[in-house]
Amino acid sequence: MNTATINASPITGNNAATTPSAPGERLWNIVDTVGAWSLALVWIAPLLFALWAAFHTSNAALALDWRAPLILQNFRDAWQSAPWLRYFFNTFVLVSLILIGQFTLCTLAGFAFARFQFVGKNLLFVLVLLQLFVLPEILIVENYAMVTRLGMFDTPLGMAVPYMASAFGIFLLRQAFMQIPRELEEAARIEGCGWFGVLWRVYVPAAKPVYLAYALVSVATHWNNFLWPLIVTNSPMTRPLTVGLSLFGAPESGVNISIISAATLVAIAPLMIGFLVFQRQFIQAFLRAGIR
Amino acid sequence: MNQATSHVLPTNPAERRLHNLFGWGLLTPSLILLTLFAFFPMLATLWASFFSRGTARRPSVFNGLDNYRDLVADPAFWQVVGNNLLYAGVTVPVSIALALGMALWANARIGGRGLVRTAFFTPTMLPMIAAANLWLFFYTPGLGLLDHITALFGIGPTNWLGQPGTALWSVMAVTIWKESGFFMIFYLAALQAIPPDLREAARIEGAGRWAYTRRVVLPLLMPTTLFVTINALINSVRLIDHLFILTKGGPDNASKLILYWIWEMAFAYLDQSGAAVMTVMVLAALGLIAALQFLFFDRRIHYR
């Protein structure tokens, strides 16, 4: 599995459909279609149910009364019972901070690993890759202590900082930079570019698709992240959507299924709409970022 | 670590100095953060695991391996480890098998393939918290969707999340629902990288659909399976968000997973040393997975 083959066959490729249909083929085609559609229906059913429940009274939703009238009251109730705008804003700030930090740090580190020979390079590289296995989530206790020590408890920066130096991003950008032809760099040097000029004018633009893929994966991951923000936040002023949603859904707060569904839909709407509109890009991004 | 594509070592001393300066300089910001949030915390966890649990009146003292001994003597430890092993042992193979099936179908010649792919992948884009919120109501005894379905077969209401026999399984179902579509993507890419001539060749040789899948497709998917398995194993330790909504580890620890237990020890019971010991064990397990991967598996799979 290498990048060349991935890039050569985008997800839209249709190479399964090149063979002419034989008699037995048609039967298999029906089996495939029925199987695929049934599984797809089962898979999407929980979301469809939530969508349906959000527009009905909880009594109708629990009784599965298909003739019940559509209502919008659940959305009104859900919206008024928590500072959702604040949560959205916090999530947005969190995701942006992480992305800016990751782009900056991983670009510099990836460039160092791709283009410079220095003492201890291989050892450092192994140390960095170690973080692929030692995820920040596992070290919550000490990371919490560290964030507190740095005076970042209950701040957006405190939520973002453990994820900024991402081994995954460093590795991804190193790979991208290593594939850029040296000639491009040499041409830039002849034009009088320094190392940073080369990085900014040659490497970063040439790796644009990788940045886009990385950005989509990073945004999707951190938009949905829960455990670490839960630990580091303490007030509605910093809480992201996921933490807000978890408090909202707590059984103690006694909300009903329709309101919960409405709140859940509101909370997931931006990322979901983004995903449905830019599906292909999202899927490509997960592939590009994951497979290398 | 592919040295061939990066250039040869600079011979001229001035240039070598420049490379050292730039290399380390560019890495410094990342190294500082990695030290603060990965390397130092790892060592600090190890160190903390040797100290007793401190209280306001009794400061913590060094007590060697006592914490480890206490933990191993705690039946809850074995239960949680067992739960996590079962959780991994079920969710990893099941979601991989489903992912493979989804990919084969999503790659077949069927109508509405785009919609099918979207249906499979959409749960992946949800926060686990949102997924748990939705599923919470499917599991509601008597009123939930699941009980509506089981009632059709004459089965009475079941307290899916509230009884030890079903709680962990209910949690697993949500995980599988959430993870399969993600792994499907990698299989789909691998399937599309298989040259169509292989199918033609197999057909000419008289190989049926099943033989072709088993003898040609599955072996070619092995690297993807390894990659996905490693990811799934790491996720089986990491993915606990739904526990906060669905069961909180209960009833009676029946659905408690390791990372949730660490969180609970550290932040609910303020038992820092217990949490540290458990974290060290998780780190050891993850280290083992990493080592196995580096030593035995083809590292070109993704560290090309």
B:169-208 residues touching chain A, CB 8 A cutoff: 177, 180-182, 185-186, 188-193, 196, 199-200, 203
For B190, which of A1, A62, A170 is closest by C-beta distance? Answer: A1
Closest CA–CA distance from residue A92 to any residue of chain B (Å): 15
Between chains, do A109 and B27 touch, taking CB under 8 Å as contact? yes
Closest CA–CA distance from residue A84 to any residue of chain B (Å): 14
Cis upstream peptide for B251 (omega within 30°): yes
Q: What is the pTM of this model?
A: 0.88
pLDDT category of residue A89 using cuts at 50, 70 and 90: very high
- List the single residue in A with minimal CA-CA distance to B144: A62
Closest CA–CA distance from residue B143 to any residue of chain A (Å): 6
A100 near B CB under 8 A: no
A170 near B CB under 8 A: yes
Mutation for testing the B interface, residue in A118, A175, A225 having most B CBs under 10 Å:
A118
Between chains, do A1 and B224 touch, taking CB under 8 Å as contact? yes
d(CA A57, CA A286) in angstroms, rounded, equals: 38
For A109, which of B26, B37, B234 is closest by C-beta distance? Answer: B26
Tell me which of A81-90, A180-189, A248-257 is least confident. A248-257
B214 contacts: CB under 8 Å, gap ≥ 6: none
For A137, which of B27, B117, B259 is closest by C-beta distance? Answer: B259
B86 near A CB under 8 A: no
3-state SS string for chain B? CCCCCCCCCCCCHHHHHHHHHHHHHHHHHHHHHHHHHHHHHHHHHHHHCCECCCCCCCCCCECCCHHHHHHHHCHHHHHHHHHHHHHHHHHHHHHHHHHHHHHHHHCCCCCCHHHHHHHHHHHHHCCHHHHHHHHHHHCCCCCCHHHHHHHHCCCCCCCCCCCHHHHHHHHHHHHHHHHHHHHHHHHHHHHHCCCHHHHHHHHHCCCCHHHHHHHHHHHHCHHHHHHHHHHHHHHHHHCCHHHHHHCCCCCCCCCCCHHHHHHHHHHHCCCHHHHHHHHHHHHHHHHHHHHHHHHHCCCHHHHC
For B119, which of A44, A113, A245 is closest by C-beta distance? Answer: A44
A108 near B CB under 8 A: yes
d(CA A201, CA A185) in angstroms, rounded, equals: 9
Between chains, do B6 and A37 touch, taking CB under 8 Å as contact? no
- Torsion, CA B138, CA B139, CA B144, CA B147, rounded to 10: 110
Between chains, do A142 and B41 touch, taking CB under 8 Å as contact? yes
Between chains, do A291 and B189 touch, taking CB under 8 Å as contact? yes
Residue at token pair 């990811």: B231
Reported as a single tens digit per residue, the pLDDT across A211-255 is 998 998 999 999 999 999 999 999 888 999 999 998 886 655 556
- CB contacts, 8 Å: A260 with chain B: 133, 136-137
Is-contact A258 B159, C-beta < 8 A? no
**Any idea how long chain B is?**
304
pLDDT for B8: 53
Mutation for testing the A interface, residue in B17, B67, B109 having most A CBs under 10 Å:
B109
DSSP, collapsed to helix, strand or coil, labels residue A118 as: coil
B:107-166 residues touching chain A, CB 8 A cutoff: 107-113, 115-123, 125-138, 140, 143, 145, 148
Look up residue A223 and give its amino acid.
W
Q: CA A111, A116, A119, A125 torsion: positive or negative?
A: positive
Closest CA–CA distance from residue A58 to any residue of chain B (Å): 11
Tell me how many degrees the CA angle A228-A225-A249 measures, rounded to the nearest 5. 95
A264 near B CB under 8 A: yes
A285 contacts: CB under 8 Å, gap ≥ 6: A212, A213, A214, A215, A216, A217
pLDDT category of residue A4 using cuts at 50, 70 and 90: very low
Cα separation values, B41 from A168, A225, B33, B260, Å: 19, 20, 11, 18
d(CA B280, CA A135) in angstroms, rounded, equals: 13
Between chains, do A138 and B279 touch, taking CB under 8 Å as contact? yes
Closest to B272 measured CA to CA, from B94, B65, B55: B55
pLDDT category of residue A162 using cuts at 50, 70 and 90: very high
Closest CA–CA distance from residue B112 to any residue of chain A (Å): 9
Residue at token pair 């006592």: B66
d(CA A54, CA B196) in angstroms, rounded, equals: 46
Closest to A243 measured CA to CA, from A255, A227, A254, A257: A227
Going by the DSSP 8-state scheme, the letter that residue A162 receives in this structure is G
Cα separation values, A48 from A44, A245, B155, B170, B235, Å: 6, 19, 25, 20, 26
Tell me which of A107-111, A120-124, A142-146, B153-157 is least confident. B153-157
Q: What is the pLDDT along chain B (304 residues), one digit of tens a residue?
A: 444 444 556 678 888 888 899 999 999 999 999 999 999 999 999 999 998 877 667 777 788 788 899 899 999 999 999 999 999 999 999 999 999 999 999 888 888 888 999 999 999 999 999 999 889 888 887 777 788 788 888 787 788 888 888 899 999 999 999 999 999 999 998 898 888 888 888 888 887 788 888 888 888 898 889 889 988 999 999 999 999 999 888 788 999 999 999 999 999 998 888 999 999 999 999 988 888 877 776 554 444 3
Mutation for testing the B interface, residue in A43, A123, A256 having most B CBs under 10 Å:
A43
A227 near B CB under 8 A: yes
- Rg value, chain A, Cα: 24
pLDDT category of residue A17 using cuts at 50, 70 and 90: very low
- Please state the ipTM of this predicted complex: 0.87
Between chains, do A5 and B193 touch, taking CB under 8 Å as contact? yes
d(CA B291, CA B298) in angstroms, rounded, equals: 12
pLDDT for A230: 94
Q: Please, what's the b/e burial string for A244-261 (b: 16 or more CB within 10 A of its CB; e: otherwise)? A: bbbbbbeeeeebbbbbbb
Going by the DSSP 8-state scheme, the letter that residue A56 receives in this structure is S
For B129, which of A13, A242, A251 is closest by C-beta distance? Answer: A242
Between chains, do A118 and B23 touch, taking CB under 8 Å as contact? yes
Cα separation values, A257 from A41, A72, B39, B137, B172, Å: 22, 14, 44, 7, 22
Between chains, do B108 and A29 touch, taking CB under 8 Å as contact? yes
pLDDT for A226: 94
Look up residue B300 and give its amino acid.
R
Is-contact B161 B167, C-beta < 8 A? yes
Closest to A223 measured CA to CA, from A131, A115, A97, A108: A97
Mutation for testing the A interface, residue in B15, B39, B110 having most A CBs under 10 Å:
B110
Residue at token pair 């569904």: A261
